[in-house]
Amino acid sequence: MQKRTLGTSGLEVSAIGLGCMGMSYGLGAAGDRKEMIGVIRAAVEHGVTFFDTAEVYGPFINEELLGEALAGIRDQVVIATKFGFDIDADGRQHGLSSRPEHIKQVADASLRRLDTDRIDLFYQHRVDPDVPIEDVAGAVKDLIDAGKVGHFGLSEAGVSTIRRAHAVQPVTAVQSEYSLWWREPEAEIMPTLEELGIGFVPFSPLGKGFLTGTVDRTTPFADNDIRAHIPRFSLEAREANLALVDLLGDIAARKKATRAQIALAWLLAQKPWIVPIPGTRRLERLQENIGAAAIELTTEDLADIGTAAARIEVQGARYPEHLQRLIDR
């Protein structure tokens, strides 16, 4: 597995990480615990060193899963987790909270669940409009000084927030959705990250499975699958957006690869400080995703993809309205 450094921070990780959310949360019933542990350990054996989780995934159980899976091999990997929600002991969410004292409480709880003495990368999951980002960055700086956290990250943060946070505590990575069917970060976020020397970690790099070609007009989603509530996965939107899947199929056939591999290889080709974190519950999909790191897209390939993708207008919002309101601008 190739390695990449997130910006100028010195934090080196595998070129492709593993997003662990879907193993416990968001895509229907949680996966079988033993099987999920097996997938995580297989990822390490295949060279993956970057694992993404959050307290809210479950809540709590995804961090516990990752901690158990990485027991004994903790020093071989980089663990990223997140704070930013007010979650009671029963797992009920009560909105956002990035109060400094809450951040420090979450860090201690995450350390226990992950069974580790440090969090390598600690993201603010969503920007809290009620807490100045300078206070948030200061709280994480305290955790870094205490040795509990290695690096500071932001998720779904706007340019102004990134700059203000970075002035207090250097930001190592920004996480946001980015793929061939959501390219908004190219306009302002990516130029800012390049200027400041911050790495970029795209989540949902395969469009929550849509870009793999395994989702079509007839695919059903359970009520506890987040895709059942996302406008981009409505029947009408799926029918329109299959044009993008067809495009990836054409390129994949030419490169003797899969659609997923082309979608990930395209991301890797955009900048050397981009590290996508596709999620999966299946070993064969893990191996497929990892294989994308070995695919080289030529300048001609990238131009063809760009030209063809520009002719496709992706339909449907990427979040339902109540979640869209949590995105910082």
The predicted model gives 42-47 an average pLDDT of: 98
Please state the rounded mean pLDDT for residues 28-55.
97
Least confident residue range of 42-46, 87-91, 267-271, 288-292: 87-91
Question: At residue 65, does pLDDT exceed 90?
Answer: yes
* Average pLDDT over the chain, rounded to an integer: 96
- Assess whether pLDDT exceeds 90 at residue 71: yes
* pLDDT at residue 75 in the model: 97
Answer for the pair 111, 149: CB distance below 8 angstroms, yes or no. Answer: no
Residue 179 banded pLDDT, cuts 50, 70, 90: very high
Closest C-alpha among 14, 31, 10 to residue 276: 14
Q: Which residues are catalytic?
A: 57
**Residue 317 binned pLDDT confidence (cut-offs 50, 70, 90):** very high
Which of the 8 DSSP states describes residue 225? B
Return the percentage of the chain with pLDDT > 70, whole number.
100
Per-residue pLDDT, averaged over 315-325, amounts to 92
Q: By C-alpha distance, which of 99, 142, 141, 147 is closest to 120? A: 147
Would you state the structure tokens that stand for residue 172, as one six-digit string? 């190592």
Q: Are 120 and 150 in contact (CB under 8 A)?
A: yes
The structural domains of the chain, ordered by start, are 3-209+270-296 (3.20.20.100)
**pLDDT in the model for residue 314:** 94
Residue 241 above 90 pLDDT?
Answer: yes
pLDDT above 90 (res 329) = no
Q: What pLDDT, on the 0 to 100 scale, is given for residue 51? A: 98
User: What is the residue-wise DSSP string for 133-184?
Assistant: HHHHHHHHHHHHHTTSEEEEEEES--HHHHHHHHHHS-EEEEEEE-BTTB-G
Q: Alpha carbon 325 to chain centroid distance? A: 19
Q: 121 forms bridges with which residues in the sheet?
A: 80, 151
